[in-house]
Each structure stands twice: as C-alpha cells, then as structure tokens.
Amino acid sequence: MMIGGLYFGTGGHFWYLFLDKKFPGTKPNIILKKLGCEAMFGPPYVSLCCLIVKLCEGKSFQTSIKELKSNFNYILAVSVIYLNLKLSLIA
C-alpha cells in the first residue's frame, strides 16, 4: 500500500506540475491538451504500477508481463471511460 501511494502520489504530483508548466491556463483548449496528455500518460503509468505489484507478489518478470498483456485492454478501457467522463464535465 505504501509503495502504491508513493508511486502514484509522487508520480502524479510531478506529472501535473509538468502539465501546468507546459500548458498554463484554464481555457478549454488548454484543458483539452492536458486531458490528451493525461490520456496518453495514464495507461503506461498504470501498467508499470501493475507490473511492480506483480513483481512484489513474487511472480517472475515473464509471468508478470504475460498477465499485464492480458489485462491491458481493461486498463485502456478504464482510461478511455475516465477521459470521456472528464470531457463531459467540462462540456
């Protein structure tokens, strides 16, 4: 639990600081750019977290990658749903 908090907390913090510096402002086009970056960043970020968890469970790297590949469609689907929800809130 602590590893997950450190991973998501610090990674997310610095990711959003980067986005705010790269795309300053709150105009709709800026928000769409930030959401687009978030949509591209999310699946690899979550996938790495899943890989770390599987390795901490004692699974081999090859087994972890195999399980990650089988679950990647779900990770991608959640990211798309999240993006759609965010877009509906700003529309």
25 secondary structure, DSSP code: S
Higher pLDDT, 8 or 79: 79
Q: What is the mean pLDDT of residues 14-24?
A: 91
**Contact present, 46 and 79 (Cβ < 8 Å):** yes
User: Which residue in 62, 42, 41 sits closest to 51, CA to CA?
Assistant: 62
Amino acid sitting at position 3? I
User: Which residue in 51, 42, 32, 45 sits closest to 82, CA to CA?
Assistant: 42
Q: CB within 8 A of 15, min separation 6: which ones?
A: 41, 45
For the record, the structure tokens of 86 come out as 């965010």
**Cα 69–47–78 angle (5° rounding)?**
90
The verdict on pTM exceeding 0.85 is no
pLDDT band at residue 83 under the 50/70/90 scheme: confident
The overall average pLDDT reported for the chain is 85
